């Protein structure tokens, strides 16, 4: 890695570490520590999703016009102010406004950092760069959550103020680190004179492969991340009788699998067709949902149900480790010259939609109708496989097999006939 890429990865780790400080305890902070109740706490979590959905379309346009670094710095300042204000707020209106600023800043960071990774990598090295980003994000979130859990005290609001201040400091530190990054000058998208943004949007919506990938991305995030802390946890507690401590162990197993398997999996993924890797993830997640079905609907002992439930989260982690060096680079290689920011923002928007809808659908279904819940998400996982196979027919040889690339810019054209290699 060059110096710019090292700084970007340090920045990813710092932002994840800061978020890990506060995100797991946000509900408790608003509802109990500030005494604002469960309704306000639920609204705060909803505001995070709504703020992301509002700003991401504008983020893509700004990255196309200004470049990723100025957009990232603006997002970091916004997130820092939101975090600091949230730690000092005690009134519902200020809490919601602070959460909106933090959620908007956090959402814009994702496509901006992803575009910087694209600009500082090549088609051959991009999979490893995105895998490293995902690894450090999970490591940072886990470490931040672990340290934050030992610092907070629900009897002292000041302990949470310290936590949010530390998060704001992480964003400021990240801004200082990112300000020193020297990114290679990326090609600019010109489009129609005077209307580059409108032309870029039309180009994206007319890209059949990208639209297919957006649909696939929605299903992926809806069937996995959208269920982690809502439907699947509700199913585990209600149907499988899993204790809260076992649920925490399952979440740790997910992160542990990612940390342990990420670079082992990368060796396998780097020489495989991207569409087939995503299709394999769908099959792995189908097995994960069947394992969850055994945990809640089988007739085994409590110990067997707990082991099966923990295995479910570990299998999800294995799939995530396979996706991290696949999805991000594929979005980048589909983007025409100068439009990586627009494509990254569109993919981030689809992810946020899935994360907003997933809990609303999965939570009630997992708690009240466990058998249909499992069947639905087994079918969703098999749908991932089918969509990935279809996507593979739309990709060019270099887009699906990046090790054949000779340069960073991937030429667009008709997909070449598939060969027999894996």
pLDDT for 199: 60
3-class secondary-structure state, position 192: strand
SS3 82: helix
- Check residue 184 and give its pLDDT: 64
How many angstroms separate the CA atoms of 338 and 189, rounded? 5
Predicted pLDDT at 403: 74
CB atoms within 10 A of CB 413: 10
Q: What b/e readout covers 335-359, taking b as 16+ CB neighbours within 10 angstroms?
A: bbebbbbbbbbbbbbbbbbbbbebb
CA atoms within 13 A on the CB side of 404: 14
| CB proximity list for 73: less than 8 A, separation 6 or greater | 175, 178, 179
The pLDDT score that the predictor gives to residue 185 is 62
Q: Which residue has the tokens 């969703």?
A: 380
Contact 23, 167 (CB under 8 A): no
Tally of residues, the chain? 422
Kindly give the parts of the chain with pLDDT less than 50: 192-195, 407-422
Q: How far apart are CA 159 and CA 380, in angstroms?
A: 42
- Judge contact between 82 and 102, C-beta under 8 A: yes
Q: Distance between CA atoms of 63 and 67, rounded to whole angstroms? A: 5
Question: For residue 300, what are the contacts with CB-CB under 8 A and spacing of at least 6?
Answer: 294, 308
Give the pLDDT score at 379: 94
pLDDT given for residue 422 in this prediction? 38
Dist. CA 246–CA 34, nearest whole Å: 29
- Alpha-carbon distance 84 to 87, whole Å? 5
Q: Look at residue 197 in the predicted model and tell me its pLDDT.
A: 55
As a whole number of angstroms, the distance between CA 334 and CA 327 comes to: 11
Question: Between 92-119 and 340-368, two packed helices, what is the crossing angle to 10 degrees?
Answer: 130
Tokens of residue 162, six digits: 């310290």
For tokens 């949902």, what's the residue?
Answer: 289
**Integer CA distances (angstroms), 265 to 9, 236, 277, in order:** 19, 28, 11
- H-run or E-run covering 80: helix 68-88
Residue by residue, DSSP assigns 193-231 as: TTBHHHHHHHHHHT-HHHHHHHHHHHHHHHHTHHHHTTH
Residue 311: its pLDDT value, please? 92
| 2-29: burial string, b at 16+ Cβ within 10 Å, e else | eebbebbbbbbbbbbbbbbbbbbbbeeb
Q: What predicted TM-score, i.e. pTM, was given to this entire model?
A: 0.78
């Amino acid at each position: 890695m060059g110096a710019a890429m090292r700084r970007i990865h340090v920045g990813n780790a710092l932002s994840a570490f800061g978020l890990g400080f506060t995100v797991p305890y946000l509900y408790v902070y608003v509802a109990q520590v500030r005494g604002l109740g469960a309704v306000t706490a639920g609204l705060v979590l909803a505001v995070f999703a709504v703020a992301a959905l509002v700003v991401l379309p504008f983020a893509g346009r700004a990255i196309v016009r200004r470049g990723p670094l100025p957009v990232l710095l603006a997002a970091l300042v916004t997130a820092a102010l939101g975090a600091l204000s949230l730690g000092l707020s005690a009134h519902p209106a200020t809490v919601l406004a602070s959460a909106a600023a933090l959620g908007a800043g956090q959402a814009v960071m994702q496509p901006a950092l992803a575009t910087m990774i694209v600009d500082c990598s090549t088609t051959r090295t991009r999979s490893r760069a995105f895998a490293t980003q995902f690894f450090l994000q999970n490591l940072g979130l886990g470490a931040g959550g672990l340290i934050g859990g030992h610092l907070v005290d629900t009897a002292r609001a000041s302990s949470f103020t310290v936590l949010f201040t530390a998060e704001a400091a992480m964003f400021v530190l990240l801004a200082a680190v990112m300000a020193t990054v020297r990114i290679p000058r990326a090609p600019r998208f010109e489009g129609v004179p005077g209307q580059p943004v409108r032309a870029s949007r039309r180009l994206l919506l007319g890209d059949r492969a990208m639209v297919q990938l957006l649909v696939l991305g929605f299903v992926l995030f809806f069937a996995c991340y959208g269920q982690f802390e809502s439907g699947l946890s509700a199913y585990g507690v209600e149907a499988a009788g899993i204790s809260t401590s076992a649920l925490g162990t399952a979440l740790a197993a997910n992160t542990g699998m990612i940390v342990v398997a990420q670079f082992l999996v990368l060796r396998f993924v780097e020489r495989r067709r991207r569409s087939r890797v995503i299709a394999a993830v769908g099959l792995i997640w189908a097995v994960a949902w069947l394992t969850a079905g055994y945990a809640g609907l089988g007739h085994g002992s409590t110990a067997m149900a707990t082991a099966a439930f923990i295995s479910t989260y570990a299998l999800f982690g294995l799939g995530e480790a396979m996706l991290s060096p696949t999805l991000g680079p594929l979005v980048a290689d589909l983007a025409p010259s100068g439009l990586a920011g627009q494509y990254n923002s569109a993919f981030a928007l689809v992810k946020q939609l899935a994360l907003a809808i997933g809990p609303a659908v999965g939570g009630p279904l997992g708690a009240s109708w466990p058998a249909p819940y499992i069947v639905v998400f087994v079918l969703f996982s098999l749908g991932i496989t089918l969509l990935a196979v279809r996507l593979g027919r739309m990709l060019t040889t270099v887009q699906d097999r990046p090790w054949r690339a000779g340069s960073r810019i991937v030429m667009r054209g008709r997909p070449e006939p598939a060969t027999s290699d894996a």
